Each structure stands twice: as C-alpha cells, then as structure tokens.
Chain A
Amino acid sequence: MAKTQIALTVNGTAVEALVEPRTLLIHFLREQLNLTGPHIGCDTSHCGACTVDLDGKSVKSCTMFAVQADGADVLTIEGMAAPDGTLHALQEGFREMHGLQCGYCTPGMIMRGYRLLKENPNPSEDEIRFGISGNLCRCTGYQNIVKAIQFAAAKLSGASVKEAAE
C-alpha cells in the first residue's frame, strides 16, 4: 500500500516517517517508533490504555490515524520522566499510593492524569473520578489511582504529600 510521509514531534524529538494511510497512531508509536508504553486494550476507544498527549489533549491513539498526527506534538509515557531519570510526580504518586497492579492501564492512566492536572491543578475526588472515566482499570478499583493523582497534584503545587498508601 502506498505510504505517506509524516513529520511530528514525539517526546521532544523530531520524527519523520513513512506510514500507510490506514496505520493507527498506536501501531505507529508501538511498532515503528518502538514506544511500547501505550497499550492496546479494546480496539474501540473505551479502555484508554493507549492514551497519549497530543497537542495539549488526551487522545486515544487507537482511534486516530498516524497521518492525522502529522505536525503534532506527541507526549507518551516514555517522555514523562526527566532526562536524568527522575520520575514525574504522577509516576511517583502511582508507586507511592499503590495506584497500579498489572501495569497495563498505567501508561494511559498517567497520561490522562497529566492532562487532567494541566486543566485542573487542584481537582476534587469527584473531578478526578470523572476526569479518568475514559480509562479502565481491572485491577485496582481506582481508589488508589485517585490517591496517586491527588499525590501528584499536591506535589506539583508544592503542598505536602501524604506519606504512604494507607
């Protein structure tokens, strides 16, 4: 199948690539760029395991063609930690508050949390629950994911964070 050239920024790095017009963004990221952090859980835009940040929005990358990301600025879970390896507050929060178990939904959940906190730096519990309702988790029951995002919100705003998951 004829391929189309695209140019975009992924995790701060300029990328040029040839893709089939029908290639989904998730497959482009995972298979051409080897960014296997975003996962595929449902193929129907319900589970959010494939969530990435694209031009300032949370996007389910299984529901977008790679050609549609031409010119976009994409951030995936692989771009969240600082270059020196320091974890982002959300990554730290998920570990501190036991916000993950199998880890499969985690990259999408963290990327959704990232945009949620940009939009609303100090969300209430209900706002967090609503804000992540496009991302499914089968392991945690969400309670500790909410705490993880609260941890990150506190840390990013300079407030004290809770010691550990109770």
Chain B
Amino acid sequence: MNDMTPAQAERAEKLQGMGCKRKRVEDIRFVQGRGSYVDDLKLPGMLYGDFVRSPYGHARIKKIDASKAKAVPGVLAVLTAADLKPLSLHYMPTLAGDVQAVLAEEKVLYQNQEVAFIIAEDRYVAADAVELVTVEYEELPVIVDPFKAMAPDAPVLREDIKDKTDGAHGKRKHYNHIFAWEIGDKEATDQAFKKAEVTIKELISYQRVHPCPLETCQCVASFDKIKGELTVWGTFQAPHVIRTVASLISKIPEHKIHVIAPDIGGGFGNKVGAYPGYICAVVASIVTGRPVKWVEDRIENLSTTSFARDYHMTTEIAATKDGRVMGLRVHVLADHGAFDACADPSKWPAGFFNIVTGSYDFPVAHCAVDGVYSNKAPGGVAYRCSFRVTEAAYCIERAMDILAQKLGMDPADLRLKNLIKREQFPYQSALGWEYDSGDYHAAMNKAMESVGYRQLRAEQKAKQEAFKRGDTRELMGIGVIFFTEIVGAGPSRNCDILGIAMFDSAEIRIHPTGAVIARMGTKSQGQGHETTYAQIIATELGLPADDITIEEGNTDTAPYGLGTYGSRSTPTAGAATAMAARKIKAKAQMIAADLLEVSEYDLEWDIDRFRVKGNPERFKTMKELAWAAYNRVSKGLEPGLEAVNYYDPPNMTYPFGAYICVVDVDVDTGVTKVRRFYALDDCGTRINPMIIEGQVHGGLTEAYGIAMGQEIRYDEVGNVTGPTFMDYFLPTAVETPRWETDWTTTPSPHHPIGAKGVGESPNVGGVPCFANAVNDAFKFLGSTHIPMPHDHWRTWTAAEKLGLHG
C-alpha cells in the first residue's frame, strides 16, 4: 500500500477500510439514547415475570404456598417446579453436559436459587407477589470451600445424580466430584522435577468474580399460539445457539423459533449461557398466550446468572539454577458451584487452561483439573477471556515471578531467557497447542525500553533502601508480564458447543447501486462490529464502508454462527467476511473481463476497481460491476452479486503482549496507587486502531477491578455477601489508572487478513500484571505470594503479617 500514487491514496482513504480509525456507526443512535435494548421493548399485553428465590445456601423445600400471591390483583400465575415437571422443563441441559434446575424441585443448592416464578400485569405487582409466597425450608449443611467438597463425610449436594459414577467427562471420584481432566506427559514431567536444580511450588488461587455488564440479563418471550411460533428477544451473545437449545428443550421446531438479540449493554461472558429466567419467560408466554418480560435486577445478576474463575491452582516449576525452565506441573481444583454450567467448548471441561505453559519454552508439562460441586451459583463463564485463559495466564505469570525470586533473577530477565523464540513458530507447546506466530522478544524489549525498565528497577532499589532506613513508608512495585492468548474458537476438529462445530459465518449482498448489506453469525455487545466488519468489506471489495450496513443478532436473517465471546469474532466471522467478499470479488472480476472484453487474467485489482494490466485507463469500478451484475448478465453467470461463507478456522489465533505496571503502596493504609501502566499488544493485523485501543482500555480497567478488589464471597453458611454495587468493586473514573497503549504487528499466517482478535488480551494480561506489581513491592521483605484481590485491607494485612507495622 506504500507505493500508492496520491490519487490512489485518495481513493483508498474514501473507502474507510482496514487500518483506519473509522468513527463508529453505532454511536449515532447510542449518543441520542436511541439504542434498542431488551428492556426498551414494549409489546401489547406484555406481562412481567419475577422470581421467588432461596434465602438459604442448601435446604430442603418442605412446602410452597403461593395462595396469597395468586390472590393479588394483577397476578396471573405462579409457576413452581411442580408445574414445569410434566413438561420436563424443571431441569435444563447445560453447555457442560450437566443439568441445571430451572425451578428448584426438592431442595435448593445455593442462595438466591430460583424457586418460583410470578407472572403479573406489572413489574411492581410481580415484586409485591414475590413477597407473599411462603416457602418452608429445612436447612442442610453447606459446602463453600471447594477443598472440603470431596471429604468422606461431605454432605451430598446433587441428590439427582448422586449414584451416577460417570460424568460428562469420565469417572467421578466422589458424589460431589464433577470431572477430572488431564493433559501432558506426566512421566516425563515427573522426571524433569526429579532432575531439577531448582523447583518452586505455590497454591495460586483466582477468586470467584462476576463479569457484571452494566445491563443485566433479560428477555421477552412471545408465543403465537395460532402460528405455533415463539419469538424471544434477549441479551444473547450467541443467539443461534440459544435458538437451537430452545428448540431442543421446548420441542418447538427450530424454524418456528425466532431469536433476536437487539443492542446489548455489555456481555463479557455473562450472556453466553441460558438461564432459568429465559425458560420461565417462555413457559409463561405459552401458558398465558401473552408476551412475558423477565429482567433481572443487579443482586440477581451478581448472585445467580453465572460467575467466573474460582480456580485453585497448585503450581510447580522445575528449572536450572541459571533460570532455564525445564518443566511445569499444575493441579487445579475448580469450584463449579451447584450445577456444572461452565461455558466451554464441549470437549474442554477446563476450557483452554492448557495454555498454562504461557509464552515460555517448557520442554515438558503436565496439568490435571478436578471440578467439584459446592453451594454456590452455577456458571464458570469466560469473563472477558477465552475459556480459562486468564486463569492460566495468572497462574504462569505469578509462578514465573516466584521462580525469579527464588533464583534471585530479575523477573523480566527470566522471561527474556525463556520466551519462545521467533524462529520456533509455528510452535508446538508441551500441552498440545500450535502457536501460530509471534515475535516475543521484540515485544518484550520494546516494552522494557518504552518504560525505562532498568531505571525503574534502580529507582525501586533506592526506595527499598530508604524504606529500610525508615525514610519512607511507601513501597514501589514493578509488575512485568508476558502473555499469550488463545482465541478464535475454533477449529471443528476440536471445538463444538453441544455438537455444533464452532465455525462462524458471513453473508454479503451487494445491491445494484453498490450498497451492501452484510450479516454475520456473531453478535456485538459493544465491540463495534457494525463499524469494523464494514471496514474489512470496504478494503476487500473497494466499496465505501459508509455504504455497507452490518446486521447481527436476528436468527431469521443472519447466517448460523456461534456468537461473540472468547475474542472469536475477528478470527472466525472476520475471516468469513473476508472470504465471502473474495467470492464476490472473483465473480466481479469475471463480469469486468466480459465488460472490458479481455481475459480475466489480463485484469488486476486497484483499490476499488479492476483495470487492464498495462492500460490503467481501462477499468470498471466495483460500483459499476454491481450495477452490471443486475443489469447486464454476463454469459454463463447467474445474475446478482452476493456470497456466503462459513469459516472453519484451521487453527486458533495467538495474540500476545508485554505489560508493565508500576505501583506505590502505602504500608500503613494498604492503599495502592497505580503510577503507570504500559500495555503492548500484538493482535496481528489491526482493523481499526481506535477500537483496538478502546478495547484495551476497557479490558485493562476490568483487570484492574479483578486484581484490586472484585470478589463474589460466601460466608460459612452459604450467604453470598455483597452482591450489589455497594460492595462489588467496579472501578470509577477516579481510581481507574491512565493507560498507555502500544503495539507490534505479527499477522496470523492462517487468517485471511492476518488478524488475531484483541478484546480479551488486556484482561488476560492485566490481572497478573497488577498482581505481580503488588507482590513485587513486598518481595524484598521475604513475601512470596499474596493472593488477589489486592484491596487496601488485604494489602494492609500482608504488611501486618510481614511485621511492617511495628
């Protein structure tokens, strides 16, 4: 593109194609309050649903009395498990091969579990009626500590499957055990540890958190009895999958179900799965013959519809005494809550956790994961992360710092010594992945130079001396990490959801005037797909992005796709978009050859047109070719100009990055200030740098929230404590650090436009970077590992334990 003439550059610029900071199309409606979110929908005769929920973490239901609630004027019905059971809808299948109670039948397994569903004329009346349902419970002992779940005398949680010895992923070891998953060469890894000069071992826990988009989960279900058709508008990150699941559960034929995901107010993994509210709204609409809206409130959101992490990772590294890593061994205890509703591709019960060797050249590794039930909300979603990748990144990046500390090495130097080298790509990892491309050392060196890493270490050393002398009460910490993501799930050979291969799709229609409508199987929740997919088409086809409308989320019109999560939209639907555009371009070339009366092979592409080689004055623009496709049908060709592509990616993509963070910790208050945060991301080809930077800002802010304060906590009797914004830490503009962003570009060799995806990288890399920074501040005082979240209280406590308060 650099050898363009000024005239060509002007034409290219007008297209607003790939690489430009195109302003977002979606913003026009959003800045005027004209977005169309689920709760904005108002249908004639619409009813409202609301849940009666369990106050207990584990209890037997003795009796439900809804008579007073039913007597409230405006209440139409109260659904309980007894009503759903004849329809076989009291349980629903989960994505992880388990079942989840829609309404609790004989007992409740976590606080705020759904027990009854009120259907009323008005949301206020529904809320009144919730208060009038009396449920008698008999309390049962609870399990909130996953390490106690498989004790010989542990209470039986899942009575419905207590005698089932085979789970969805093999033998169960205990009645509260869900699955065991193992990967890598155990014997060779054990050998590496036997021979190791240096080893480290640490239990690294990643606390339970929640994705918490600003808009909660919600839906409107409308069943048309005459047509036998169901329409569901909902906050769905994967609308097509929801339709298929709805059809399988309800037995309504798939073509008679219309699932529509309108504008979505953030998802971050929270809106991938199906929840009891959706099922109850559908049943309520079938029962009443009227549309039913269900909107969860914030407490319901934080305490019931999914969670993320709750991974307890016992991590060991074997190394030589000069800092070469020789082996990695990880055992994970995974707390999945009361039902295994983990949102992972079917064959991956621990997601892609086996990316845990990270960016380092481990010759051998072994990883085992045990999933257990507990009296906590079900879920296990990828909170801005590609299926347990952020757990893996936190695990390896903390462990590398602990190893550096043991070796007396600088953590950046340890990483530089072990990073996979550029010439090793494509790289086969010890746990089975093929990393597509990378230039890790270039990225790491650029990051270190950009922040003046060595000078920061010198400053830190001086501050540590001053602290020891008693001249300051402030500690300086430097967090440095290098992450490798694995996104774009995924190749059909190893990725499916309930048996459906995880391809994605694009359909592009060029109309006679050259205006375009394109539809994809993904669904934006703020990522700006309407803007960026159009940029791909603009560059591929030479039509202005402003003439291209992108539509997603309506299963009637969009081609089938698996949705948006796991940073998969660009690697899958973005690829499909380019491939569909190329089919159109190939046909346009034939039409151009016919119009210009030359052979196709005598034509060459020039930004927005085909021109005759050696005779650039003879050309046909794409706009002219669009008209010709409908107006003057070339011999042997069908009229029209459109294409569809279903893209089955040959491999995952592997974005990576180097992050460095500087914090100042007041040891007397525990207050930690982020002085600086530098993020270098390599996401391959950059479609819209403005949107990429925005994604990085947002992901880093979510990472800051997780590392510095977020936690969904349970007390010893199973009460979920603090599921409101009073307690659950969402950073405001005041605490949020200023972000410095940077990049390198290493295109993916197997993606049609070389793009890798970026949305989740900053969360994956950001969390360990903050954690390493806080830990780094205390390291010189003998501290090895302070667990997250690093809120003021915990940081103060860490200082207290080190005897820093005199």
Contact = CB atoms under 8 A, between A and B. Distances in A.
B32, B123, B725 — most chain A CB neighbours (10 Å): B32
Contact of B725 (A44, A137, A166): A44
Contacts of B23: 95-96, 98, 164
Given A101-B526, A103-B526, A138-B266, A77 B32 contact: yes
A119 B458 CA distance: 45
Interface in B184-216: 212-216
A144 B214 contact: no
Contact of B21 (A35, A37, A164): A164
Interface in B695-749: 695, 697-702, 724-726, 730, 732-734, 736, 738-739
Main secondary structure of the interface of B (DSSP, over half): loop
Contacts, number: 181
Contacts of B124: 20, 22-23
Interface in B7-54: 21, 23-24, 26-35, 37, 39-40, 42
A110 B31 contact: yes
Contacts of A38: 33
Interface in A107-137: 107, 110, 128-130, 132-137
A147 B545 CA distance: 26
B213 A138 contact: yes
Contacts of B738: 143
Interface in A17-47: 20, 22-23, 27, 30-31, 34-44, 46-47
Interface residues of A, number: 62
A15 to B, nearest CB: 17
Contacts of A96: 23
A76 interface: yes
A58 interface: no
A81 B724 CA distance: 34
A38, A39, A101, A143 — most chain B CB neighbours (10 Å): A101
B697 A143 contact: yes
B19 to A, nearest CB: 14
Contacts of B528: 101
Given A39-B215, A44-B298, A138 B730 contact: yes
A59 interface: no
B528 to A, nearest CB: 7
A129 B39 contact: no
A87 interface: yes
B35 A143 contact: no
Contacts of A78: 32-34
Contact of B697 (A22, A94, A132, A144): A144
B263 A103 contact: yes
A20, A132, A135, A137 — most chain B CB neighbours (10 Å): A137
Given A98-B691, A129-B733, A140 B31 contact: no
B491 interface: no
Interface of B: 21, 23-24, 26-35, 37, 39-40, 42, 123-124, 212-216, 263-266, 268, 297-299, 525-528, 690-691, 693-695, 697-702, 724-726, 730, 732-734, 736, 738-739
Interface of A: 20, 22-23, 27, 30-31, 34-44, 46-47, 49, 76-78, 80-81, 87, 91-92, 94-96, 98, 100-107, 110, 128-130, 132-146, 164-166
